[in-house]
A and B are shown apart, each in its own frame.
Chain A
Amino acid sequence: MHKKTTYLIPYMLWIGLFVIAPMALILYQSFFNISGHFTMGNYEQYLTNGVYLKMTFNSILYALIITMSTLLISYPTALLLNRLKNKQFWLLLVILPTWINLLLKTYAFIGLFSQNGSVNDFLRFVGVGSHQILFTDASFIFVAAYIEIPFMILPIFNSLAELNPSMINASRDLGANSWQTFRRVILPLTMPGVKAGFQAIFIPSLSLFMITRLIGGNRVITLGTAIEEHFLVTQNWGMGSTIGVVLILAMFVVMYLTRDRKAKGGRIQ
């Protein structure tokens, strides 16, 4: 394993062709305005025009809320799933819904949430009366979290499954109660899974687009919506790329903040 590196060739080729090349292309394009002239104007507009800064702030806020609510739902789920017999089977059942087309599921949510939808029927039945559910922040966050939940459960579940049961037993034997065991043993040891889930959800949440329109009614504009518009509608690829560069930078920041600290300075054990 130490000597041979030929097996790395396909992976390196992939990094070169499909990661670095497109990234360079995006960076290159971010310096051109809509008429194809070289300019720093896109960055200037991004930083000085309040619209984009506000959008960035909103996106980060929503992405944080979405990631946190996903985490809050997913962690206990992964914990409980892990205790079940045939847990791999139940995990597959968690992933299964993601195989149904996203747009279709979104349309199903529209049907559930609309004025005459099932949820409002239920509310009327209970006597609470109907409410406007679609096009609200709450419904947007709910659907976004719904989409992301399997992608959060999976890494947490994996790190829980890897957990050495003797650790937990040892903790119990040493007199720790369930809460202490969870707080001092299980949680720290599953942090890599939580971090992986965070990475897999936070940045994509910054760039959600379709459900911002379908469920959020475009009352929520994220960076993703803006990129989508600049690439597909307004054809202003320069500005779209500029926001893309911002997203890539944001990703590096998130990666840095959630990095595996153990890796630094060798293994401390």
Chain B
Amino acid sequence: MKKWHISNLYLIFVFLVLYLPIIYLIFYSFNAGDTMDHFSGFSWRHYGTLLSDSRMISIVLNTLIIALLSSLIATIVGTLGALGIYSTKKAAVKNGLLSLNNVLMVSPDVIIGASFLIFFTFLGFSLGFGSVLLSHIAFSIPIVVLMVLPKINELPATMVDAAYDLGATTWQTLTKVILPAITPGIFAGFFMAFTYSLDDFAVTFFVTGNGFSTLSVEIYSRARQGVDLEVNALSTLMFIVSLLLVVGYYLLGRYNQSRRMQRVKAAEAKINQ
């Protein structure tokens, strides 16, 4: 076991700040009153409202579908793109591609949203699920590329060459050598894409239509009348679910690890016999 470092205090502080507003939101989701500035007593009231609000639940489902689907597709396209950028030989072309890649990362959402809207109407694309999905894929691709590319760059060039020398085809090299090595980057890209998609308001607002709505758009338009604590209740539930997922992921990882360790130990025991 590692020793307790004084520096852990710093980490605790950072986590505390990161979670402070979230704890605040969760705390007030149990408020019997209607606002976030005065706690007048404990109540499940806002959870009740939430569960009977079928419009809200439907919007949450829409939001999750868009986020998962768009980040999945963005991850696939982005990973391929990163491989492409990596294999580009000319430095100028490479830098050009990288700059184009980053345009959407750094453009203000309002501009992206407005230009996508013009673009979709120009194509005669009807606004709704499809346009929102396409837009989310579009603005998530660059972050995937940025997450995956460093991992590819860190691949020792000799490894790829060795694979070719040993007679592997392009496909084999890709699936057996490169992809396994950059999997952490791909996952990081997926998570970031998911995050971007969940958080986006401005782009979605422009390109949505025909009754399709996502959570952020709904929250922004409701906020006109002050934030509804029903939304706090919803965030609390979503937070708990994602926390459980993260903890589950952690436990799974530990389980796999300990199994592997056991296998290693068993193998060692065999050798020693």
Answer yes or no: A and B touching, Cβ < 8 Å.
yes
A positions within 8 Å CB-CB of B: 1-5, 7-8, 10-12, 14-15, 17-23, 25-26, 73, 76-77, 80-81, 83-86, 88-89, 92-105, 107-109, 111-112, 114, 116-118, 146, 149-150, 154-155, 158-159, 161-162, 192-193, 196, 199-200, 203-204, 207, 209, 223-224, 227-228, 231-232, 237, 240-241, 244, 247-248, 251-252, 255, 259, 263-264
Contact B87 A241 (CB under 8 A): no
Query: Inside 8 A of A3's CB, which chain B residues have their CB?
Result: 170
In the complex the two chains form, is A200's CB within 8 Å of B146's CB? Answer: yes
- 19 more A-B residue pairs beyond the given contacts A200-B146, A204-B105, with a C-beta to C-beta distance below 8 A: A5-B84, A14-B137, A14-B141, A17-B119, A18-B141, A22-B111, A96-B239, A99-B198, A103-B227, A108-B24, A111-B36, A114-B37, A146-B18, A199-B105, A227-B111, A240-B114, A247-B106, A251-B102, A264-B91
Contacts of A146 in B (CB 8 A): 17-18, 21
Known interface pairs A20-B100, A247-B107; A89-B119 also in contact (CB < 8 Å)? no
Distance (Å) between the CB of B231 and the closest chain A CB? 6
Q: In the complex, A227 Cα to B201 Cα: how many Å?
A: 16
Interface size on B, residues (CB 8 A): 92
Nearest CB of A to B82, in Å:
9
Check if A109 sits within 8 Å of B21, measured CB to CB: yes
Bound CA–CA A252/B150 (angstroms): 20
Q: Is the CB of A255 within 8 A of B114?
A: no
CB distance from A117 to the nearest CB of B (A): 7
Q: From DSSP, what is the main secondary structure of chain A's interface residues?
A: helix
Docked complex Cα distance between A10 and B145 (Å):
13
A7 touches B84 (CB 8 A): yes
Verify A231–B24 contact, CB threshold 8 A.
Answer: no
Given contact pairs A108-B25, A240-B111, A19 touches B100 in the complex (Cβ within 8 A): yes
- A248 and B204 CA atoms in complex are apart in Å by 21
22 contacts between A and B (CB under 8 A): A1-B83, A2-B170, A10-B76, A17-B138, A18-B141, A22-B116, A85-B2, A99-B242, A101-B231, A104-B25, A105-B21, A108-B21, A154-B188, A162-B151, A162-B154, A203-B105, A227-B108, A231-B110, A232-B110, A240-B111, A244-B108, A251-B102
Q: Are B250 and A89 in contact (CB under 8 A)?
A: yes
Contact A203 B106 (CB under 8 A): yes
Asked if A94 contacts B18 (CB within 8 A), the reply is yes
Residue in B7, B150, B160, B231 whose CB lies within 8 Å of A196: B150
Q: Mark B248-271, 1 if CB is under 8 A from A, else 0.
A: 011001100000000000000000
0 or 1 for each of B199-243: is its CB under 8 Å from A? (1 = yes): 101000000000000011001100100010001100100110011
Closest residue on chain B to residue A267 by CB atoms: B157
Contact of A86 among B95, B101, B250 (CB under 8 A): B250
| Complexed CA–CA distance, A76 and B9 (Å) | 12
B174 at the interface (CB under 8 A from A): yes
A-B CB contacts (within 8 Å), total count: 251
**Residues in B whose Cβ lies below 8 Å from that of A203:** 105-106
Residues on B with beta carbons closer than 8 Å to the beta carbon of A101? 198-199, 215-216, 219, 231, 235
In B1-56, the 8 Å CB interface with A consists of 2, 5, 7-8, 10-11, 14-15, 17-22, 24-25, 28, 36-37
In the complex, which residues of chain B have a beta carbon less than 8 angstroms from the beta carbon of A100?
A: 21-22, 25, 235, 238-239
Q: Are B192 and A4 in contact (CB under 8 A)?
A: no
Chain B residues, Cβ within 8 Å of A22: 111-112, 115-116, 119
